Structure 1
């Protein structure tokens, strides 16, 4: 079997995906039913908010949720339409019209699929831990804030920002509409908190939703329900492929694909960190999410991503295998064809209670203490990422978080690097004052190279400079070029430069950039310090002898 064939087979489902099914099928069924009920209003709401319509949101949750569950790289990831995708998709539909929805969805899916096949999934591993935790905290805050309108029995605010919309919604609150939704939220939250204490396998979210739905129906409470649902799925169809349209949609498709890839990988990584259901395969996750969006596009759906909110509900409800996410999609299918009228009576406040408790559970106090108690730089990165996630955009938050983390990492590297003048080893000899020995430590790269020029370039009253490079751990092209320029400048002033201990891994770079060519003689490169010092002393003696001879002849 060729390496390429083996790589492709690794992206396909296998028996190992369901190794735990014999022990976990009961909890998986319960989790799938729970997350299916929770996903229903979210799918409808995200479809409407994007401009694609409620049916598109529901189709995405069903088709993409099922495909991603089977082909994705996480055992507990639940996929479908998300709030972040709505923010990116809505302007595209507003500009190009609803007819381009299946085309841009399929294009984005193909791009994400290609990223998985090309093994680009591990790129998320370069995202620092404080950025991941800040992203998670921000997502939890958004999930909680998004539930405020339903919890208070009011309409959402007009802003697309969850925090602003929550404040706008609270401004319209009245006691006549506030009381009963809040009661239902509190009942659901209490049941979800208490049920696991009675028995770990009790599905608190399902029990809570059933209890408050029955209460609302029997008492005729004035609370908002889910409302009318579509009764059938569309027939799959191949969208028209107009070259002009494809060209115009390529840019938006790339943006959507980037969001889908990052959000899905981060969601899978967060899921792996809060559950003990095994690691995730990043490349397979991308391939699965790409296939999910392609499939959703053929049904007229939206681009799909791994959904942190639904994934968290899935995990907290006891999911152990892919069966839970598959059941979640089957529940939504059953709702469309069998139970649309019944599910329509569930109060939105009940679902708000489920998501509020889920959001609160996503934030671990122990993790918060670990991040805040680590370093000042990591704390700053954590809070910057969290604030930007809530205030602006998920992708921007991750990007800015990485930039801030990179800034602190570079600053740390610059601080750890150093240029130190040392005494020559052994007993002092006459003429040693004409020899300067410098030790280069840490990293010599573009952010720290100027320090070498400032520290060594201004040396005076010496005949020989020894650059001790054996302790240099990192050397980039800029750092190597600075060494070459320094050697050339010192040699031009009549100061002989000797280099000692350049590491084997840096030797090729030093040769290409010109460090070795800048030396006066190839014998001025030494592997050990004693021969370099002895050569420097002999050079000083010869220089003095030449000076004395010239003086006597004069």
Structure 2
């Protein structure tokens, strides 16, 4: 810990107080839950992160997922439900780390994740518009709520609108000044002073959402009465969101000195942060891109920068609990909406849109699903779409080429569509051979029908594992060759594949394949297979 980390924690805490409160509002619970989560997540989550500058705190995406989950929960029971959800999510993150599931975050398509986050941003913009303008909330979706506000302008409370728009003006006006790190604090305090001076008591405040406890928050055990299947499903959705976003934070905030981050270790740290956030009556937390950026720009040297911001938030909670309760709710809506607008990256959208029809489809489908469906359902759509895109990409990217023997070298050529009598064809495959890729290979293998004694050598160099689908495809092709007097050869075979595809397994299924193990010399096993195939063909040609 250094003096720089202590000082760097102050801007993080100043920005973390309004962000935490706004996240509580977004989740449909008291802003205090967001404050407690910001305090506990930053300190306890920061202890174990491998990404040293990562700040574990509330995020808009997870808050919106929580709010979607708690929609059908009685308002009087949401406080207990959100605590239980946070603890369950924390446990799921730790389990994910133990099972080393970090590597699977890369299977979530960039286009899908961007579409989801874009949908989250627009949900916040649309959903918080009534609160910003003091209009009644009507509609089941964020889009419907915003549309009702636009179509019923006489329902505005002009006082609330003045307060909300004043906060927006402060956030935008101070963004490019030296006060940018405390812009959110000014957006809270100045409108609050205006409300108090003018006596606008009809404007809702944080205190109206529930009691603001004073003193140091103490740990509490959760009430299990709120446990339900939808709550567990919501916790799973939050877990997926937090883990994928956390992996993104690790990429955007490399460690000082160049030490590599561990995704699974960050999973554990975020899980611990959620466990303690829940014990302190907080809401879900995760690696925050925005707060991590503030931590970096404030001069933090290591993990203590984020941890000290949690300590400073605790100080603010203890010293200024009364002030927190007087914050007007329209200012929190303003903070959320400005943050959502800033998170929209036009350059990224243009890049994805220019990447082709598949990327555009993934972006649009996930975006629309996030706007029109509950967030938990939208997460399911996104994960399912990512898997479909992965399988589709495997099928599209697979390429089969022919290798011709020229002396002791192998030269690429176009793969034939059919085999000829006594022909030896060496094939190499680029792309995945799992699932859809194996089926695509099946369609691209040369047709042996009508040929006599053909031999196909399939090069498997560099492949260490295979799927049951691939074995089925090769088995079917080997039997077709065998029926014509030919044979299938596999060269460059890794020992791990041979350990799975034993002679007993293949003979039991009527499959005859010649194996040539990979050697340290590239092409050696393929040339050996070709020499053996030549002997076989010459033998078959004898009268």
Task: Report if TM-score (shorter chain) is over 0.5.
Answer: yes
Pairing of 1:91-240 with structure 2 (within 5 A): 106=87, 108-157=89-138, 159=140, 161-174=141-154, 177-178=157-158, 180-199=159-178, 203-220=182-199, 224-228=203-207, 229-232=211-214, 236-238=219-221
* CA 1:261–1:170: 2 relative to 1, 3 Å: same
Asked if 1:464 is matched to 2:441, the reply is: no
Contact map agreement 1:73 1:281 (CA 8 A) in 2: yes
- TM-score between both structures, scaled by the size of structure 1: 0.74
What is the deviation of 1:167? 3.0
- Single out whichever of 313-322 and 364-373 deviates more from structure 2: 313-322
Matched, 1:262 2:240: yes
Aligned residue for 1:501, secondary structure, equals strand
**2:511 is matched with which residue?**
518
Q: Residue 480 of structure 2 aligns with which residue?
A: 489
Output one character per residue of 1:282-302: Cα deviation in whole Å (capped at 9) or x when no partner: 334433343344434545x25
Asked whether 1:376 is paired with 2:323, we answer no
SS state of the match for residue 197, structure 1?
coil
Task: Measure, in 1, the Cα distance between the counterparts of 2:369 and 2:191.
Answer: 35
Deviation at 1:483, TM superposition (A): 1.9
Structure-2 change in CA distance of 1:232 and 1:452 (3 Å): closer
Q: Secondary structure at the match of 1:434?
A: coil
Task: Report the equivalent of 2:436.
Answer: 447
Q: Counterpart in 2 of 1:67?
A: 44
Q: 1:36 aligns with which of 3, 12, 17?
A: 17
Q: Is the 8 A contact 2:395 2:436 kept in 1?
A: yes
Partner Cα distance (1:100, 1:351) in 2: 23
Q: In structure 2, do the counterparts of structure 1 residues 454 and 104 end up closer, same or farther at CA, with 3 Å as the change threshold?
A: closer
- Counterpart-to-counterpart distance in 1, 2:6 and 2:292: 18
Of residues 115-124 and 358-367 in structure 1, the stretch that sits farther from structure 2 once superposed is 115-124
1:504 pairs with one of 471, 489, 494:
494
Question: Shift in Å at residue 129 of structure 1?
Answer: 2.3
Q: Tell whether the 8 Å contact from 2:44 to 2:307 is kept in structure 1 after alignment.
A: no
Residues 121 and 343 in structure 2, CA contact (< 8 A), matched pair in contact too: yes
SS of aligned partner of 2:423: strand
Q: Which residue of 2 aligns with 1:290?
A: 271
**CA offsets 1:19-78 (integer angstroms, 9 cap, x no match):** xx54454453123112213322543663xx36xx67666554544554334445552231
Cα deviation, 1:248-292, whole Å, max 9, x if unaligned, reads 948567535423432322332344455577676533443334334
Shift in alpha-carbon separation, 1:539–1:402, aligned structure 2, 3 A: farther
Compared CA separation, residues 471 and 31, structure 1 to 2 (3 A) = same
- Distance in 2 (CA, whole Å) between partners of 1:355 and 1:319 is 25
Cα displacement (A) at 1:152: 1.4
Q: Structure 1, residues 141-178: CA drift from partner, whole Å, max 9, x if none?
A: 2332332112211233352x333333344455427524
Cα-to-partner distance string for 1:310-342 (whole Å, 9 max, x where unaligned):
74895698584654565356436644x543443
Cα RMSD (Å) of the superposition?
4.4
- Worse-superposed segment, 213-222 or 346-355: 213-222
The separation in 2 between residues aligned to 1:316 and 1:187, in whole angstroms, is 29
Larger gyration radius, structure 1 or structure 2: 1
CA contact (8 A) 1:79 1:305 kept: yes
Q: Whole-Å Cα distance in 1 between the matches of residues 254 and 398 of structure 2?
A: 40
- In 1, Cα distance between equivalents of 2:103 and 2:400: 36
Q: Out of 412-421 and 282-291, give the one that drifted further.
A: 412-421
Alignment of 1:425-436 (within 5 A): 434-436=421-423
Query: Kindly tell me: are residues 164 and 315 of structure 1, through their superposed partners in 2, closer, same or farther at Cα, counting changes over 3 Å?
Result: farther
Distance 1:118 1:419 in 2: 35
Q: Measured at CA, do residues 281 and 138 of structure 1 come closer, stay the same or move farther in structure 2, by a change above 3 Å? A: farther
Deviations 1:500-523 (A, max 9, x none): 635336544444652897338889
Answer with 140-149 or 210-219: which moved more.
Answer: 210-219
* Residue equivalent to 2:520: none
Asked whether the equivalents of residues 36 and 327 of structure 1 are also in contact (C-alpha less than 8 Å), the reply is no
- Over 3 Å counting, the alpha-carbon distance change for 1:42 and 1:386 in structure 2 is same
Gaps (5+ residues) in structure 1? 1-17, 427-431, 546-554
C-alpha distance in 1 between matches for 2:515 and 2:299: 66
State the alpha-carbon separation in 1 of the partners of residues 488 and 241 from structure 2. 52
Deviation at 1:210, TM superposition (A): 3.0
Instruction: Decide whether aligned partners of structure 1 residues 98 and 458 sit closer, same or farther in structure 2, where only a CA change above 3 A counts.
Output: same
Q: Is the 8 A contact 2:22 2:336 kept in 1?
A: no
| Equivalent in 319, 322, 331 of residue 350 of structure 1 | 331
How far did residue 236 of structure 1 move? 4.0
After TM superposition, give the deviation of residue 416 of structure 1 in Å: 3.8
TM-score by length of 2: 0.75
- Structure 2 unaligned blocks of 5 or more: 408-418, 517-524
Change in Cα spacing, 1:273 to 1:59, as seen in structure 2 (3 Å) is same
Aligned to 1:7: none
- On the 8 A contact 1:111/1:254 being kept in 2, the answer is no
Cα deviation for residue 469 of structure 1 reads 0.9
The whole-number CA distance in structure 2 between the counterparts of 1:71 and 1:530 is 55
1:539 is matched with 539
- Report the CA distance shift for 1:378/1:473 in structure 2 as closer, same or farther (over 3 A): farther
Secondary structure of 1:441's partner?
A: strand
Alignment of 1:14-93 (within 5 A): 18=1, 21-23=2-4, 25-43=6-24, 46=27, 49=28, 59-64=36-41, 66-72=43-49, 75-79=54-58, 82-89=63-70
